[in-house]
Amino acid sequence: MEVITLSKDTEIKITAKQTIHELYNSLKTYPDQNKTLTDITDVLMQVYKKLDTAPNPEALVNRLANYIYVAGFGNIHLNAADEQRVIDLGATGSKAGWNGRYMADFADKSQFFGIFDR
């Protein structure tokens, strides 16, 4: 039997996509779909789409986690499972090291969309 080993980037992408998928599905069931929650689910979907082609997936996940922390603070209340998912994304993103840190507006969802993205 042949053992298949995955690269570090592939493992990160698979784990992050699974966590993003679970978080997205859970957030869509919240009864109060306010603007902040809608913005977060939009960004989750965009990152999910871009993750496979991202040259540095850790940095993308790091920006996602920071966006959720900043945009959601005081605006939405997550259940315990969703809080853990955001923590998991933050832990994945922390592997980006210096590549994930920059002086951008973490609360700006446009950082995840290109000019031709819908």
Q: Are 112 and 43 in contact (CB under 8 A)?
A: yes
The full set of domains in the chain, from first to last, is 8-97 (1.20.1440.140)
What is the spatial distance between Cα 15 and Cα 32, in angstroms, rounded to a whole number? 28
Q: At what angle do helices 35-50 and 8-27 cross, to 10 degrees?
A: 150
Is the pTM higher than 0.85? The answer reads no
How does pLDDT run across 21-68, given as a tens digit for each residue?
999 999 999 998 999 999 999 999 999 999 999 888 888 898 899 899
Taking residues 82-92, what's their average pLDDT? Answer: 92
